[in-house]
Amino acid sequence: MECYSALLILAFLLSSISSISSQDAITHFCLYEKGNYTANDNYSANLNLIVSSFSSVSKNDYGFYNMSVGQHSDRVNAIALCRGDKRPDECNTCIRTAVKNITVDLCPNLKEAIIWRIDNCMVRYSNREIFGAMETDPSFSANHPNNVTDVEGFNKILRSLLDSLKTTAISGDFRRKYAAGNATGPNFLTIYAQVQCTPDLSELECDDCLVNYFEGLPGCCGSKQGGKIVGPSCYFRFEIYRFYEPEVYLSKTGSPNISTKNTTISKEFSVNL
């Protein structure tokens, strides 16, 4: 009997941990102040078309989608973005899940909402124009629980690394604005970092977005071994372990409907500072 009770307690704890992990994997904002729609109105029908399209994505190998359906106040504008190092199959699975999460489970009947599934993908939609618009809110941040020993030295190397990655990312094209790399920090630590913008932004807008978040480093994670700030138009993350895939592949063509031999478009690099 005692053994049975112990097994029940263990099962409950494992279930709780799983539930917590699942919840922690999703960050979302339901923008109630932007208004809502009813189940049978035009906005609902247009959003359903967006959901259907995003739920069947399969041929785009660069992880960025945008779509608009409808007119005037019933127009739905939507964007989906995957992390720059994610394979097409991982990206598409993430988007399909995120679309269901945000429209059905988390923010039903709202005209504007945004969701991030871990760092793997983002989906957002609105009845206002969001394509080509740099926005830094709503955003969220997180950090590693442990501190570095040489805060000043670590932050100096980290900021130089992020600035170098930013230069690479902003020069990306309409398919992807992304960069990842590493640098040697104090006490032989290797600092790994990743930055990305939605590729609908201009070079200047991408630069402004990332700089805005870099300036939030001290308040977010200035003494930590890892951290991130994530928003609608851009994000950055750093850790003392490699958390991303080292190479990113894109097809030679910009068309999402043509499959060609892959070529390396972005590769992890080391920065000597």
Q: What is the CATH number of the domain that holds 69?
A: 3.30.430.20
pLDDT tens for 156-176 read 999 999 999 999 999 999 999
Residue 3 lies in a domain: no
Q: How many residues does the chain have?
A: 273
| Residue that has been written with the tokens 């399969």 in this structure | 58
Count of other CB atoms within 10 angstroms of residue 33: 7
Asked if residue 118 and residue 156 are part of one domain, the reply reads: no
The answer for residues whose C-beta is within 8 angstroms of residue 23's C-beta and 6 or more apart is: none
pLDDT for res 250: 63
Residue 8 lies in a domain: no
Asked if residue 144 and residue 121 are part of one domain, the reply reads: no
C-alpha R_g of the chain: 20
Domain count for the chain: 2
Strands 177-184 and 269-271: parallel
Asked if residue 86 and residue 163 are part of one domain, the reply reads: no
pLDDT for res 246: 84
pLDDT for res 269: 55
Per-residue tokens: 225: 């071994």
Amino acid type, 45 = A
pLDDT for res 271: 56
| Residue that has been written with the tokens 């307690």 in this structure | 9
Asked if residue 158 and residue 121 are part of one domain, the reply reads: no
Residue 153 lies in a domain: yes
Residue numbers of the domain that contains 65: 27-126
Which of 93, 126, 159 is the last residue before a domain boundary?
126
> Torsion over CA of 4, 9, 10 and 12, rounded to 10 degrees?
130
Q: Which helix (H) or strand (E) holds 235?
A: strand 234-239
Residue 216: closest CA among 202, 198, 228, 232:
228
What is the distance, to the nearest Å, from the Cα of residue 67 to the centroid of all Cα atoms in its chain? 18
Report angle CA 44, 49, 53 to the nearest 5 degrees.
145
Q: Per-block average pLDDT, block size 10, for the chain (273 residues)?
A: 39 31 70 94 96 78 91 95 92 92 96 93 97 97 96 97 97 94 96 98 98 96 96 98 83 34 43 55
Asked if residue 86 and residue 194 are part of one domain, the reply reads: no
Peptide bond into 138 cis (omega under 30): yes
Residue 267 lies in a domain: yes
pLDDT for res 57: 72
Asked if residue 157 and residue 189 are part of one domain, the reply reads: yes
Which of 126, 154, 184 is the last residue before a domain boundary?
126
8-state DSSP, 74:
G
